[in-house]
Amino acid sequence: MAVIVDADGRVLLTRRSIPPFLDLWVMPGGKIDLGEPILEALKREVHEEVGLEIDVEGLIDVFEHLTPGEENCHFVILYYRCRPLYCDVVHNEDEVAEAVWVPSCELAGYAMPAGARYILGQVFPEASLRDLTKTVHA
């Protein structure tokens, strides 16, 4: 997943229009194709979802997400800090309902999975994301 932070310190969030994490706010990213290098997959997914080109600055952390039950999913999510080469977002409506640049002071108001909130809490410790009232456990 790409934690894309612009020059103004805002992070790009997308509201998913497909599972997993339907209607939740997450960072752009997705699955790696067989044989595809991780960072190339990240850049491809970002471009497919929001039309941006990015520079990858480094790995933030890894988060494991389990959804037992009907979905029976187990994701290992790598979160990379990224910088956009430009900020004109054109989101793919097949995957993303909307995409917004969010200042850190507003992050707590967005419903997002635990992994996204955890990572954003590391990137923006001033955002008080330890209050998990808006966290959704998918």
Q: What is the pLDDT of residue 132?
A: 45
Give the CATH number of domain 2-136. Answer: 3.90.79.10
| pLDDT score for 133 | 44
pLDDT at 138 over 50: no
> What would the pLDDT profile of 50-73 be if each residue is shown by its tens digit?
999 999 999 999 999 887 777 778
Query: What is the Cα–Cα distance from 112 to 132, expressed in whole angstroms?
Result: 10
Backbone CA torsion sign across 44, 48, 49, 54: positive
Tell whether the model's pLDDT for residue 82 goes beyond 60.
Answer: yes
Query: What pLDDT does residue 137 have?
Result: 43
DSSP 132: G
Q: What is the pLDDT of residues 5-24, one digit of tens each?
A: 999 999 999 999 998 889 99
- 4 phi and psi angles, rounded to 5 deg: -90, 115
Confidence category of residue 124, pLDDT binned at 50, 70, 90: very high
